[in-house]
């Protein structure tokens, strides 16, 4: 079979291993001498590339023309996301083509991701953030295509749109001025609830002498006093009293500790860390009631007292739930306890948090073992990871590392078999997908290899 190209989609490149003893020799894609000759029936001269960043033109000769960051490429570009062999330009029957060589960032032509496409005059290619413009016309010189002309071609409607908008704005403003002048020429309105007397009626011009505004239709004036409708009085706003909610874990934890309470509350915080919650609360109550202390220290003592009181109730809630068999709710309460205790900035974890971490890690570790025994290694991986976050040196962390090592060994075994027996390599990578859950390193890498061969060689 043809030797597959090493893909660097995952950010690394490895030279393919030698085939096994007795394996057929790979067939080269093209002879070296053929690369300097344009195929029969192809374009009659080499195409060009324009680099807008530098303003330079580059002739794509000889073909095929490889672009990448490796030293052996025809065009070497030092880009952050450029692969070692990123893309290749080839000559076809009456056209030029560009093909993606399994690059990390992919290949885009005119903003669309492509794998292989025939190029036209002025097409824009994006290679890992680097833009080049293709010039392959037989008659036009390379200098005849410029980025400015390419951007403006095919969009003459923008210039007409600006002209039409300017005309509409001018007509609208003129109509507004005519209406304003007509309104100012009319009679002034009388105050509300005013009576039009004989003298005022004589001074008022007749309605026939005044030109009505455009679109205005007025009924004939009625004799007698003219009154405007009286608006109903709006009711006074009603005051709504919203009761303050009780202190929750999130509200207590979000408020920062007042400055100046750290040294004054050290004894109480140390008593809490040793497991004496009641003693710590008693000390803080005395500190908050001491009028000889500054207000800043007294406010800080009240604040720390609220946090410790909430911690005590949350710890008791978790134990009660666990004693009644509601394990998930109990461990969720203890998780809130750990988040809230982190706001105290203790020098070392408290006795309560150590008990919570050990018991929670053991719970998730046992569930992970049961999931592995049932054949669900992905669920075991997730449970062991939660336990390892609480006890990084525990048994669950060791089991998690062993599962990751098995996934790594299977992936690398498939990589070694890739150039010898592709079917066996695909079987190894599918085992990796079943062993570890999506989102992990080797599940992602195995999925990428399988997708590569499914798209290009039809391996299912």
Question: What is the structure's pLDDT at 156?
Answer: 61
Question: Which of 216-225, 340-349, 392-401 is predicted with the least confidence, judged by mean pLDDT?
Answer: 216-225
- Containing structural domain, residue 404: 363-456
pTM for the predicted model, two decimal places: 0.38
C-alpha closest to that of 149 among 52, 53, 56? 52
Token pair 């990751």 is found at 404
| More confident site: 113 or 152 | 113
Say yes or no: 323 and 377 in one domain.
no
Domain annotation covers residue 446: yes
Q: Specify the CATH number for the domain of residue 79.
A: 2.60.200.20
Instruction: Convert the pLDDT of each residue in 299-308 to its tens digit.
Output: 888 888 888 8
Confidence of residue 182 (pLDDT cuts 50, 70, 90): low
Residue 370 pLDDT > 90: yes
Question: What is the structure's pLDDT at 363?
Answer: 87
Question: What is the structure's pLDDT at 434?
Answer: 93
Question: What is the structure's pLDDT at 141?
Answer: 46
Q: Can you tell me the distance from the alpha carbon of 366 to that of 387, in angstroms, rounded to the nearest whole number?
A: 10
Residue 75 pLDDT > 70: yes
Domain annotation covers residue 181: no
Q: Specify the CATH number for the domain of residue 446.
A: 1.25.40
Q: Can you tell me the distance from the alpha carbon of 341 to that of 138, in angstroms, rounded to the nearest whole number?
A: 74
What percentage of the chain has pLDDT greater than the value 70? 66
User: How large is the average pLDDT for residues 169-194?
Assistant: 64
Say yes or no: 61 and 148 in one domain.
yes
Q: Can you tell me the distance from the alpha carbon of 13 to that of 228, in angstroms, rounded to the nearest whole number?
A: 86
| More confident site: 68 or 205 | 68
Say yes or no: 331 and 388 in one domain.
no
Say yes or no: 62 and 148 in one domain.
yes
Domain annotation covers residue 237: no
Residue 371 pLDDT > 90: yes
C-alpha closest to that of 77 among 43, 99, 51? 51
Say yes or no: 45 and 145 in one domain.
yes
Say yes or no: 303 and 413 in one domain.
no
Say yes or no: 125 and 89 in one domain.
yes
Domain annotation covers residue 202: no
Domain boundary residue, one of 287, 317, 348: 348
Asked whether the beta carbons of 108 and 125 are under 8 A apart, the reply is yes
Say yes or no: 309 and 410 in one domain.
no
Count structural domains, the chain. 3
Question: What is the structure's pLDDT at 297?
Answer: 84
| More confident site: 28 or 282 | 282
Question: What is the structure's pLDDT at 205?
Answer: 46
Question: What is the structure's pLDDT at 457?
Answer: 62
Within 10 Å of residue 247's Cβ, how many Cβ atoms? 14
Question: What is the structure's pLDDT at 403?
Answer: 93
Domain boundary residue, one of 103, 132, 152: 152
Question: What is the structure's pLDDT at 432?
Answer: 94
Question: What is the structure's pLDDT at 301?
Answer: 84
Domain annotation covers residue 183: no
Asked whether the beta carbons of 346 and 269 are under 8 A apart, the reply is yes
Question: What is the structure's pLDDT at 203?
Answer: 46
Question: What is the structure's pLDDT at 460?
Answer: 56
Say yes or no: 50 and 122 in one domain.
yes
Instruction: Convert the pLDDT of each residue in 193-213 to its tens digit.
Output: 444 444 444 444 444 445 544
Domain annotation covers residue 3: no
Average pLDDT for the chain: 73
Residue 241 pLDDT > 90: no
| More confident site: 1 or 71 | 71
Confidence of residue 441 (pLDDT cuts 50, 70, 90): very high
Say yes or no: 332 and 389 in one domain.
no
Question: Which of 71-85, 303-317, 438-452 is predicted with the least confidence, judged by mean pLDDT?
Answer: 71-85
Domain boundary residue, one of 152, 169, 203: 152
Q: Can you tell me the distance from the alpha carbon of 111 to that of 100, in angstroms, rounded to the nearest whole number?
A: 15
Question: What is the structure's pLDDT at 373?
Answer: 93
Which of 9-18, 145-154, 161-170 is most confident? 161-170
Say yes or no: 144 and 53 in one domain.
yes
First CA to last CA distance, the chain: 17
Residue 190 pLDDT > 50: no
What percentage of the chain has pLDDT greater than the value 90? 14
Sheet with 56-59: strands ordered across: 56-59, 48-51, 130-135, 124-127, 107-109, 112-114
Asked whether the beta carbons of 143 and 124 are under 8 A apart, the reply is no
Question: What is the structure's pLDDT at 406?
Answer: 94
Instruction: Convert the pLDDT of each residue in 249-304 to its tens digit.
Output: 444 444 444 444 656 677 888 888 888 888 888 888 888 888 888 888 888 888 88
Instruction: Convert the pLDDT of each residue in 104-149 to its tens digit.
Output: 888 889 988 888 888 888 889 888 778 889 886 544 444 545 444 4
C-alpha closest to that of 63 among 29, 96, 95, 36? 36
Say yes or no: 367 and 337 in one domain.
no
Residue 13 pLDDT > 80: no
Confidence of residue 447 (pLDDT cuts 50, 70, 90): very high
Domain annotation covers residue 184: no
Question: What is the structure's pLDDT at 211?
Answer: 52
Confidence of residue 458 (pLDDT cuts 50, 70, 90): low
Q: Can you tell me the distance from the alpha carbon of 449 to that of 429, in angstroms, rounded to the nearest whole number?
A: 8
Domain annotation covers residue 421: yes
């Amino acid at each position: 079979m043809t030797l597959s190209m090493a893909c660097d989609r995952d950010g690394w490149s490895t030279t393919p291993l030698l085939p096994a003893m007795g394996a057929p020799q790979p067939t080269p894609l093209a002879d070296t001498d053929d690369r300097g000759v344009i195929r029969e029936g192809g374009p009659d001269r080499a195409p060009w590339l324009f680099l807008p960043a530098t303003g330079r033109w580059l002739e794509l000769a000889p073909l095929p023309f490889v672009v990448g960051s490796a030293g052996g490429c025809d065009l070497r570009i030092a880009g952050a996301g450029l692969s070692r062999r990123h893309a290749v330009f080839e000559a076809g029957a009456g056209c030029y083509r560009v093909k993606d060589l399994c690059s990390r960032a992919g290949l885009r032509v005119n903003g669309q991701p492509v794998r292989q496409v025939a190029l036209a005059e002025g097409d824009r290619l994006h290679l890992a953030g680097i833009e080049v413009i293709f010039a392959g016309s037989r008659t036009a010189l390379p200098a005849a295509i410029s980025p400015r002309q390419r951007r403006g071609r095919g969009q003459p409607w923008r210039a007409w749109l600006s002209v039409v908008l300017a005309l509409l704005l001018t007509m609208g403003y003129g109509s507004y001025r005519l209406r304003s002048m007509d309104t100012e020429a009319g009679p002034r309105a009388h105050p509300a609830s005013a009576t039009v007397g004989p003298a005022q009626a004589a001074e008022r011009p007749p309605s026939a002498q005044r030109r009505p505004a455009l679109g205005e239709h007025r009924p004939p004036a009625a004799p007698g006093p003219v009154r405007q409708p009286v608006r109903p009085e709006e009711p006074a706003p009603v005051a709504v009293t919203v009761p303050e909610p009780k202190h929750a874990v999130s509200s207590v934890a979000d408020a920062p500790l007042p400055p100046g309470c750290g040294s004054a509350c050290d004894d109480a915080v140390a008593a809490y860390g040793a497991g004496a919650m009641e003693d710590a609360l008693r000390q803080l109550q005395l500190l908050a009631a001491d009028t000889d202390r500054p207000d800043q220290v007294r406010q800080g003592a009240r604040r720390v007292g609220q946090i410790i009181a909430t911690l005590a109730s949350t710890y008791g809630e978790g134990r009660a739930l666990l004693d009644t068999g509601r394990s998930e709710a109990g461990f969720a309460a203890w998780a809130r306890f750990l988040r809230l205790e982190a706001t105290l900035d203790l020098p070392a974890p408290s006795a309560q948090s150590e008990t919570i971490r050990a018991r929670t890690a053991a719970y998730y570790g046992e569930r992970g073992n049961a999931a592995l025994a049932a054949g669900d290694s992905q669920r075991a991986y997730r449970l062991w990871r939660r336990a390892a976050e609480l006890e990084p040196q525990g048994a669950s962390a060791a089991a998690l590392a062993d599962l990751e090592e098995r996934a790594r060994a299977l992936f690398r075994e498939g990589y070694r078999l890739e150039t010898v027996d592709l079917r066996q390599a695909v079987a190894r990578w599918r085992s990796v997908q079943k062993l570890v859950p999506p989102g992990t390193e080797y599940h992602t890498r195995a999925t990428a290899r399988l997708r590569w061969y499914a798209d290009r060689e039809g391996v299912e």
